[in-house]
Amino acid sequence: MKTVGKGMLASLLAAATLFSSCESAQQNVLTETEKAEGWQLLFDGKTLDGWRDYNGATLTQPWHVVDGCIQAKGDGNDASGYIVTDRQFENFELSWNWKLSKGGNSGMLYHVVERPQFAVPYITGPEYQLIDTPNFPEKLHDWQDMGADYAMYIPDKSVMKVNPQGEWNNSKIVFDNGHVEHWLNGVKILEFEAWTDDWFKRKNSGKWENAPEYGLAHKGVICLQDHGYPASFRNIKIKELPRKEQEVNLFNSNDLHGWEVYGTEKWYVKDGLLICESGPDKGYGYLATREYYDDFDLTVEFKQEADGNSGVFIRSFIEEGVKVNGWQVEVAPKGKGTGGIYESYGRGWLIEIPKEKEKFLKEREWNTMRILVKGDQVTTWLNGEQMVDLKDEIIGKGQGRIALQIHDGGGIKVLWRNLKLKTL
């Protein structure tokens, strides 16, 4: 949780309530039934194996193992003190026991994305809020309160039963292909659907309106938060759930629903077509899906009416302003490599098409591009002809949006239609 004014008073209150025991007997083990159901322990009760700093390779943050529990020392703050799992998780049931110091404040985050551009995990990953509300030294908003999907959804307090400060509680998160549940001590206290219109309305109008990548990832690491108060965790276990494949029509032929515009260039719908056109600023412009798509099979038709210097970005994210960071499948005038793959930062061209394949681009006519992305492999086709096939470890680690581009320089106009995607 990110609250204001947690100064010296909060630190003193936390330091005075360090736990002397985590009652480790028969903790951090799985029953035979749990093993058969697919549950896995994320904490062995003895070491911090499997955990490391956020955006780090080792563990240096203020956490330690005390009497069979992971304990936050209370030295963290809004900018530091986060530890994450080595592994990423997508769909799951996640259960854990927790105990807070008096007035304590912590959280369990998931789908956290690690990139150098993201200084803290909470600007990407949703948080199950953990806080000692009765003893917290400041007034809380409902969206900051115990059990909330932090700054998004508020739990049903009429059914909540929180054990008194200093006693153990159990919480559970269910994330099943966008369906989310929060449980507390065996009772469901909150339920919602991620990535719906209601979800995006909340995301774009409140705490996260200036955090464009918040909550979009479909997978990520699990994160524990030291927010300046001692907190203890044990019996952290997870059961993975299967991914459901979907067929998605990215463009409804009526409006830009499901997309977000970055930059001042023109994006509009006319006669059932999606049109991008250079504006007076003659800068870069992007139209990005509001959702992430990581592994997919995408087909899209395009026609270049003017200088057709454009592209389809994959696994991309908004870094700042109008800057889109990711990998681009090139859409360009003949002779400039339509179907090749370009990295928008660092490495430049990763693979260019053979010169003899330039003939497959039909100028001033409709073309069909197919892009298959699975793991670390990207394959592209233009009008039924394979253009490139690339395996790249860095792409394999990426995740993000699909985005259409207008190149800078002005004079560009490209028409798009039939943007159809199947998740894999």
Instruction: Please write the tens of the pLDDT for every residue from 147-182.
Output: 999 999 999 999 999 999 999 999 999 999 999 999
Let me know if 336 is exposed, middle or buried by CB neighbors in 10 A (0-12, 13-18, 19+).
middle
- Are 220 and 261 members of one domain? no
Which residue segment(s) compose the domain that 410 sits in?
Answer: 247-423
- Are 236 and 251 members of one domain? no
- Are 69 and 153 members of one domain? yes
SS3 360: helix
pLDDT tens digits, residue range 278-331?
A: 999 999 999 999 999 999 999 999 999 988 899 999 999 998 767 889 999 999
Q: pLDDT at position 26, please?
A: 87
SS3 135: helix
pLDDT tens digits, residue range 230-266?
A: 999 999 999 999 999 999 999 999 999 999 999 999 9
- Are 157 and 254 members of one domain? no
Residue 267, in any domain of the structure? yes
Residue 2, in any domain of the structure? no
Domain boundary among 197, 212, 240: 240
Q: 384 vs 1, which has greater pLDDT?
A: 384
Residue 181, in any domain of the structure? yes
Query: pLDDT-derived band of residue 271, with 50, 70 and 90 as boundaries?
Result: very high
pLDDT tens digits, residue range 21-74?
A: 565 458 999 999 999 999 999 999 999 999 999 999 999 988 999 999 999 988
Determine what percent of the chain is predicted with pLDDT higher than 90. 86
- Are 200 and 125 members of one domain? yes
Backbone angles phi, psi at 369, to 5 degrees: -105, 135
- Are 286 and 414 members of one domain? yes
Task: Indicate if the pLDDT at residue 101 is higher than 60.
Answer: yes
DSSP labels, 267-322: EEEETTEEEEE--TT---EEEEEEEE--SEEEEEEEEESSB--EEEEEEEEEEETT
Number of domains in the chain: 2
- Are 375 and 347 members of one domain? yes
Domain boundary among 240, 272, 294: 240
- Are 168 and 197 members of one domain? yes
Supply the CATH number for residue 261's domain: 2.60.120.560
- Are 374 and 274 members of one domain? yes
SS3 203: helix
Residue 85, in any domain of the structure? yes
Structure token pair of residue 262: 């970055």
Residue 1, in any domain of the structure? no
Residue 270, in any domain of the structure? yes
Conformation bin of residue 76: beta by default, left when phi > 0, alpha when psi is -120 to 50: beta
Residue 3, in any domain of the structure? no
- Are 365 and 318 members of one domain? yes
Residue 396, in any domain of the structure? yes
Domain boundary among 196, 219, 240: 240
